[in-house]
Structure formats: C-alpha cells, structure tokens
Chains A and B, each alone.
Chain A
Amino acid sequence: MTLDEIKIGGMGASRRRVEDNRFIRGKGNYVDDVVLPGMLHMEILRSPVAHARIRSIDVSKAWEIPGVRLVLTGDMLATRNLAWMPTLSYDTQAVLATDKVRFQGQEVAAVIADDPYIAKDACEAIVVDYEVLPVIVNPDQARAAGAALIRDDKENQPDNKVFDWEVGDRSATDKAFAEADVVSEVELHYPRSHPSPLEPCGSIADFDRSTGKLTVYMTTQAPHIIRAAVALVAELPEHMIRIISPDLGGGFGNKVPVYPGYVVSILASILTERPVKWIEDKTGNLISTGFGRDVYLKGQMAVRKDGRILGVRMHTISDHGAFFSDAQPSKFKIGLMHSAFSCYDIPAAHLTAEGWYTNKAPGGVAYRCSFRVTEAMFFQERMVQAAADDLGMDQAEFRRINLVRDDDFPHRTPFGFLTDSGQYGKCLDVALEAIGYEQFLKDQEEARKKGRLLGVGISTMTEPLGAGNSREYDILGIKMFDSAELRVHMTGKAILRTGAKTQGQGHETTWAQIVAHELGIPADDIVVEEGDTDTAPFGMGTYASRSTPVAGAAVAMVSRKIRAKARKIAAHLLEVSEEDIEWELGRFYVRSSPDRGVSIQECAMAAYSNMPDGMEPGLENVAYYDPPNLTWPFAAYVATVEVDPETGVWDVLRMVAVDDCGVRINPMVVEGQIMGGLTEAYAMASMQFITFDAEGNCIGSNYMDYLLPTAWETPGFELHEVVTPCPHHPIGAKGIGECATVGGPAAFVNAVMNAVQHLGVRNIDMPLLPDRVHAAINTRSDISGAPPVRTDSP
C-alpha cells in the first residue's frame, strides 16, 4: 500500500510545529536560560551622548563595590589589540570606545560582577568625562562643507562618505528618457526602523584554560560565521571554539552581526576564567544593534503614452551610522537595491548610490529585508504608482502592461539579474478579483461625493531570495552555500542537522517534512538540530530568506544520497540487481514483482546488520548545496483603506495577499510567515520609525516610542496562493520569509495616496501617522522625511 504523504507529515502537510510544544509550555532554552556553575554577569556602560571625545574614564569607584570582579575599558582592550574589530562589511567598529564615542548608546566600559544588580550599580559608579563634539544625524549634515569628521580613526578618510557605487547602463538609460512621452519623478524617505526581536542579544562565554576550549552560547543567526570571526578577531584556534546558538526569540536580521558585547564577554571569561553572561536590555538592543532602512530614494521613470516603461533612474543616499557594520554580499555596496523593477520588462536602468557615516547606531540591512530589497521594492511600487497617475492610467492596467509575461522566462532584469519563473499576471488577477477591484472603484467614486475618502493600493513584486550562488554571493569572502547532514539510525529514525539556524521559522518542523517527502520516513521520526558548531555541518546561517532555497535544498539532496545507498541495500535484500529496483514513497520494490519490496526502515536496519559485501556500514551522509541561482517568488498585495478627512486616521478595510513562493513545504508555516510579514509592513507604513533629535538622542529607544503593532490594530489579512515551482530547486520551493515585509508597505501607502491624490497630495513619507495625513490633506501638499522631533515649549 502506498504511503499517504500528508499522513506521514511530508510535503504539503500543514503539520503542527514541533518546537511549539516546548515554547508554549515555557520550556524553551534561550541564552538567558542557560546557567553555568560559577557564572559571572556582565553589564555594559553606554554613552549618553552621540559624539564626544573621551577625556578620561574613572573606574575606581566601580572597583570598590563588593562583588565586582572585573572592570574593562577600551584602553584595556587596546593592550590586547581588541579595542576595534572588523565588521562584516570591510569596515572597523569600536568594541569599547577609546578615543571618541560616535553614537548615543555606544559601548564605553563593562563591569563583570557576581550578579547583574551589582554589575549595574558598578556601571553607574563609573565616571566618564566627555568633551562634546558637533553631532551629525543625517546624510545632508554629513556631506556639508566643514562637517565634523566622524571616523578620524581611519586613514584615508577625509570626509564622512562610506561609499559611492553605481550599477546599470547610464547611456542606454539617458537614451530611453530622451524618447519618453512622460517622465515621472518620486523622492522618498524610508525611515530607520528596528527588527526588535522579543529576545534581545546576549552571550555566555565559557573559556576553560585546562582544555583551551572556548564555548560561547550566543544569540546568533549564523553560528559558523561567528566561529570564524571569533577565530580571526580573538586570535583563538578555530577548532577550540564552539558556538552554540540555542533557541532564539526572533532574529529578523538583528542577530547576524558581531556585537561588542559578545567580544567583551569572551575576553572577560578568558581573564576571569569563569563563565560570563551578558544579556542586553531592550533599550540596549534598540539603540545599539543592527537597524533597518534609513535611506533616501530618488528616481525617475520614462514612460511612453501607451503605458510602456522605457527606463528608470535611481539614486539612493543611505545613512549607515558610525560604522559600516551590516553584513551583505561584498560585491554590492548597497545590498541588492538593484533588484528593483525585476518583475517589470524595462529595457534600461541606472542606479547610483552613496553611503554616509552619521552619529547614529551602525547597521542598515537588518529587519527581514534580504539586503535592502525592502527599500528597492518600496521605491519600485511607489514609482510605478506615480507613473500610472501621471499617465492618467489605471494602476492595475499599467502594471499589467509592464509585468514580465509567463513565456518571457528566463528574463534578464533591468539591472542584470536572471529571473526564471512566475505567473505575475495571474497573481495580480487573483488579487484584484479577490478584492473586487472594479466594484471598489465605483464605491470609491460614490463615497467621494459624500466626502468620504476611500483608496485602493497595489504592490506587485518579485525579489531575489536565497543568497546565494557562490559566484556572486559571499560574506567576507566566505561563499554562501549551505549544508545538511542526515543520520538514519538502525530502527529507521533519524537526526538531521543543517548549517542554518531557526529563529522562529520552524525548521524543526519543515526540514523533517522534506526528509519525509524524499525518504518516506514519517516526519515525527526525524529530529532536527541546528546551531551548535561542534555538531552541525558548516553553513552560513539563516537570514535573507535563504534557508529553504539553500539549506532546504541541501536537506533534499542529502536525503537523495541516503536513498541511493538504501537502493543498493534493497537490491541486496531483495536479491535482484539495482536496475530492477523501483522506488515509491518509503519503499523499494522489484519492478517485475511489485509485491516484493522492503521499506526504508528495513534498509536502515540492514545498513547496520546485513549490508552487502564491500559496502561501508551505516546510513549517514552530508550534502553541501550551492544553488545555481537565486529564487524569485512573486507577490501581489492589494489593500483598501478609508481615511478620516477630519483626523487623518486611516483604517485598513481589507488586505489581500497573493503569494507565489513555488511549492509550499508546510502551508500553515508559510501563511504564518506571510501574516507576520504583513503585520510588520503595516507597522512600517502606519507607525514605526526611529528618529534622532539635533543632539543625536535616539527617539525610539523603548517600546513606548518605538511601536510594535498589537493584535488590536493589526488588520485582518486574506491570503491566496499561486504555485509556480522553482525550476532549479530540488523540491521546487522559493524563499518566502521576507516577501510580505518587503512588498507590503507600498500597498498600504499606495492605498492611502490613492484616497487623497485627488486633493493634490502626491506623497506622504512613512510612517503615515494621522497628523501627517491630516496635514497633507489640509495643506494639499506632500509630507516628506522622517517625522520631525519638535522641541518647542508648550
């Protein structure tokens, strides 16, 4: 009897997440849950000012507090060449400040004590004398003549520029613009935001001098990269470093970089020969760790009267904070910004980018964005809407004219990527049908006559997910492939390990489903383990929606290696030649006599007890997978809103999401990803931003100022699917983790703009807080930039 794949928890089963069993019982094992014998506690003293020279640091009062074991400053780190560390973007970052502080919240000193209360008390006893310097909080100030030089620590750094970068064909683009009937322009700001995982960052370093082994429990999405970084920075032998990333309470890109706290806790453990725990507080996480966005986006679109797009120009100005410390493929300075317009058939495009240092926290690519794809797609969809409006053409029709057609694959994108599959028009049609587009336009017209403002916004996009292929993608030169190791035990149960690291994505559930699909071993018989560099095969970790495209493919490939060996064992057991063996889910059988067969479990037992002569015993293997291309999922998001003209408050009436992420391993998990992503998209469109006042004080350093939406205000989402299998992925899957966060914001913003555009408003920058929407309606003008921090007195 053929196995029912859904019943064994294979591909397509909405299998309940196995990890939730421990999470909902409060039995998760996060870094802060780990307690080691003799463990000390570390607290970091942070700078209260954004830019200042350090005249002196007096730690004598801190040392006097009973229970204090160690006080560290930058000068003490400098004696060990650890005051600065390399970033994952070929820059350097201060571990503990020596010469200057360069952003509010920067790490200045650390106290290691018997308990965290003492450590905190001792931090308050440290006296730092700061000589305050002029503060730079945006790229305009950074490039002004006579601007203070932030990175005076670097040689050959005469100004505050991080980089200039260019991609595309300038002359072909100029030519396209010369032929245009209409040229549309937009100028946007994507405000700084923060991934704010529920669990902040932290580490426990445990150096054992007797063995020379360093074990670090750490909140990291990429434990193997961290192992390499620690080996290089701390000059410890790599085989004596073990990084364990236990359960993670969310990551969203925030837990990719190497943070000063990790490094200091490692040094503190080496010096004290005791385990040292450092757990960041929420404010520390918000003001000092990897943020997202903070980019000014300008551009133009050349359009023909019949609706065809001829060319696009883009210029981005990004604010990287005090250190260029995000992690991104080293070939690209502004991440994958040039993935913009990949779903449209546009003959010519040109992008210029500039990056600037400011007195703000470092980072830039975090927050579920796949290396700046979020900004690229937001710009794309706002630009497309502006061009449709300028042409006087329906926004859906304009997209339909320009979307890449199903028979045009493989398709070379405007900036040179190669997309391989999709049904873009169909996805858009499904979304428009679901929202009732034609009827809504009529309702909108009627409502307007009564002074009500209704709007509908569309966002369609494909994005490059699954870095990488090793030709183009690396971090610090390390190629971006991934791995899986599968050990099938003699009773047919198995353990699977990968180089990825789940943070909530549900790998423990879904990887087992891939194995079940490939081998017919029930998913419940497979345990999945990740995050321990001593046991997991080398991998680049989980971010950029890369786990299913890369590690997930490795899981399929290693299962196939196992199946190939099991086939030989089956032939041996069935006493036929391998060529006479057929496979069906979970079972080999003799082609000429289908009743004669052996199960995969019987083959597993034989691998340990009755293998053919000359065969290596056991049933284990490892696979490294280097994908031939990125995966290109597609999404069509359509939102309808009503704006209250008296208050500027806008409510989402409906939000329809049509995602094509290829074959879905676990539909429920995929839907969870989409709903979470749409929630974040709604947050960014409506309320979320981090800004700074003129002195560089971070406005958004706590959850009263930096808003995470609750279930109360988050709208309902209506999800639909279209399935176009990925042609190069072993199970046809594409990335999905970031699609909704990336594509969602433009749908909400376009909807609000659609509601107010007839009043003479072309753009309101995010977040669309009620006062900004009200001001735009009232003044009939655009509202640009981050919400200002006003300090006028009552």
Chain B
Amino acid sequence: MYPSRFRYEAPSSVAEAIALLEEGKGEAKILAGGQSLVPMLKLRFASPELLVDINNIAALDYHHFSSDGALHIGALCRHEHLEKSSDISSRQPTIAAAAPLVADPIVRTRGTFVGSVCHADPQGDWAACMVALDGRIVAQGPSGKREIPVRSFVSGPFQNVLAYNELAVEAVIPAPKGTALGGYMKLERRVGDFATAAVAVAVDVDGGRVTRAGIALTGVGGTTIDAADAAAALVGSSLDAETIARAAELAAGVAQPRSDHRGSASYKRHIINTFTSRLLSGIAESHEKAA
C-alpha cells in the first residue's frame, strides 16, 4: 500500500484530537477502525494531509444502556463488540440482527459503529439501523458537544454535517416505547460484499399494539432511505398480515434502486418488499409466541 504522504498523530484524549482537527483546517481525517479509510488511502481516493488516529483514546471504547434505557455507543466500539454483547442481544434486536451481517468477521474486529455512520456509505448497514431506531450522533468540537439526529447527520453519499473541527464521539439510540422488536435482512452476493439491498426494521410494541416504528433501506438509493410512510402504517396496528403487506409495499415504493451488476432496479425493489414482509412477519410471529 503506497498512499500519498501524510502526517500521522495519535492523541490520547478527545481534547487533543479536536485540537489536531483545528490545526488540520479541514485537511485532517479521523482514523478509527480504518476499514473504509485505509482502502481509500491505498487507492489514493483520499489524500488527507493529517491522519488523527483516535485508537489511543480508551475513554471512547464502550457501549452501554443508560438508566433511561437509551443505548450509548462510543466512537471506538467495534462491530464485533456489538455482535458479541449479551446486553445487545437481549435488549436491542435490530442492532443484534445487523451486527453479524456487517462486512466480514475480519472487518468486524476492527471497524467501528460510529465510524461507519460517519462514513455515510449508502450501502452501509448501521446508518439504516440508526434511521430505523431514531438514533443521534453526539459531536464534540472546541466549544462543546451537540446532538445531531441521524436523519440530518448524513447530508449525502459519503457526506455528513460534522464541522472540520468536530469529532463524532458517540451514537445514541433512544429507549424503546414498550418492548423493542426488530431485525435486519440483507442480500449480498458474498460475505463482505456491499448490500444488493437490505432492510432495517425497529418496532416498539406495548399492549399488543405498535407504539413506534422505523423502517430504513440500505443500498437502494443515493443515501440510506427512511421508509417513514411504511413505518407510520404500522403504528397502532397489531402487525396483522394486511398491515404488513401494505408496509412492505410502501417501503418498496420509496426505494430508489439503480440497476447495476448486483441486480436490476426492479429486482432490488422486489427484494425490499420481500424482506420487509419477511422481517415484519417474523417479528409478529415471535411476539405472538412470547405473548
């Protein structure tokens, strides 16, 4: 690997990292897991002057549920930590379903959740989960922290709204309204391939009725697609077959797939419909069994 020349710094605190970003004046890049950035450096698609490696900032390596039930994921939390977390598998089904499907086992040991959301790849898995779960990103700059809802955080393909001197320090997933149900389904040609199409579903249920729902689509548009109407169609329902079919159709309707060597647009739209329907039916079935 022969990237362009760059300066490399590995600060041990968030404050130092932010100072380095200031210094970089927009020509600095954060290195967390490096699973997207390093290939881009190798191919010289990215040629930053300064690389700020945050891997020495141990304080960013965590994920936990706070007392209000919200899930906090620090900037150094690796995909693998989420995949193997018993907390996640018992309390956050959408994240638990997606974690083992992110890239491949090697990438998962290194790549980070927050880094993946910041990278804003329309084919990234975590952005769809964040949208389905109404997640937020906590950004920290010289003047302190601000919270940015994920829907306004991603501003386009591979673009986010972070200022040049801000570091995304945490992702927050709000507490569910009732029981958190959900799932993630992805069609890929091979483990580690980008998604041909994928669907994230998060449904909160209380008293047999849906209190909140989120559906988001991966790989079928210029950015992650928020299937808000499909999700809205579920709220108040008992996840009956008719509602599920309507939601699946609405989700497929807002997909903006592009025909490429992974499949035709109409096929990808069909997969969105099929996966949305399969996910919701599975959720309805498991909830019924539990109830």
Contact = CB atoms under 8 A, between A and B. Distances in A.
6 tightest A-B CB contacts, nearest first: A771-B263, A790-B259, A712-B191, A771-B267, A120-B2, A794-B258
Contact of A647 (B189, B222, B271): B271
Contact of B193 (A120, A707, A775): A707
A709 interface: yes
A584 B5 CA distance: 67
A407 interface: no
Contacts of A774: 267, 270
B264 A710 contact: no
A792 B270 contact: no
Contacts of B262: 769, 771
Nearest to B264: A771
19 contacts: A116-B2, A117-B2, A119-B2, A120-B2, A121-B4, A124-B44, A691-B261, A699-B261, A704-B194, A705-B261, A710-B191, A770-B263, A774-B270, A775-B264, A788-B261, A790-B259, A790-B260, A790-B264, A794-B222
A568 B5 CA distance: 69
A790 B260 CA distance: 5
A771 B193 contact: no
A120 B263 CA distance: 36
B256 A713 contact: no
Interface in A580-629: none
Interface string A711-740: 011000000000000000000000000000
Nearest to B277: A646
B211 interface: no
A769 B263 contact: yes
Interface in A433-468: none
A793 B260 CA distance: 10
Contacts of B270: 774
B187 interface: yes
Nearest to A790: B259
Contact of B196 (A712, A713, A771): A771
A691 B262 CA distance: 12
Interface string A681-699: 0000001000100000001
B24 interface: no
Interface of A: 43, 116-117, 119-121, 124, 283, 646-649, 687, 691, 699, 704-705, 707-710, 712-713, 769-771, 774-775, 787-790, 792-794
B7 interface: no
A719 to B, nearest CB: 24
> Which of A647, A707, A709, A787 is the most central at the interface, judged by chain B CB atoms within 10 Å of its CB?
A647
A323 B267 CA distance: 38
B192 interface: yes
Given A117-B5, A704-B194, A794-B222, A775 B267 contact: yes
B192 to A, nearest CB: 7
Interface in B201-238: 221-222
Interface residues of B, number: 32
B35 interface: no
A120 B193 CA distance: 28
Most buried by A among B3, B222, B261: B261
B257 interface: yes
A699 B261 CA distance: 9
A52 to B, nearest CB: 22
Interface string B12-47: 000000000000000000000000000000011000
B256 A770 contact: no
A283 to B, nearest CB: 8
A793 B258 contact: yes
Contact of A712 (B43, B104, B267, B271): B104
B4 A647 contact: no
Interface in B142-173: none
Given A710-B104, A775-B267, A790-B260, 6 more contacts: A120-B2, A121-B4, A647-B274, A687-B189, A707-B193, A790-B259
Contacts of A705: 261
Contacts of B187: 647, 649, 770
Interface string B90-128: 000000000000001000000000000000000000000
Contacts of A793: 258
A113 B265 CA distance: 47
Identify which of A649, A771, A792, A794 gathers the most chain B CB atoms within 10 Å of its CB: A771
Given A704-B194, A712-B191, A771-B196, A794 B257 contact: yes
Contacts of B258: 790, 792-794
B190 A709 contact: yes
A117 B3 CA distance: 7
A646 B274 contact: yes
A127 to B, nearest CB: 17
B261 A707 contact: no
A315 B35 CA distance: 47
A260 B189 CA distance: 34
A790 B274 CA distance: 23
A792 B266 CA distance: 12
B216 to A, nearest CB: 17
Interface string B124-139: 0000000000000000
Nearest to A699: B261
B46 to A, nearest CB: 14
B194 A707 contact: no
A283 B267 CA distance: 30
A788 B260 CA distance: 7
Contacts of B268: 771
B189 A787 contact: no
A649 B196 CA distance: 12
Contacts of B263: 769-771
A651 to B, nearest CB: 13
A84 to B, nearest CB: 29
A710 B257 contact: no
Most chain B C-beta atoms within 10 Å of own C-beta, residue among A43, A646, A687, A789: A646
Interface string B181-202: 0000001011111101000000
A713 B190 contact: yes
A794 B260 contact: no
B61 to A, nearest CB: 27
Contacts of B190: 687, 707-710, 712-713
Contacts of A771: 196, 262-264, 267-268
B88 to A, nearest CB: 21
Interface in B37-63: 43-44
Contacts of B264: 771, 775, 790
Contacts of A283: 43
Contact of B261 (A709, A713, A787): A787
Interface in B232-291: 256-265, 267-268, 270-271, 274
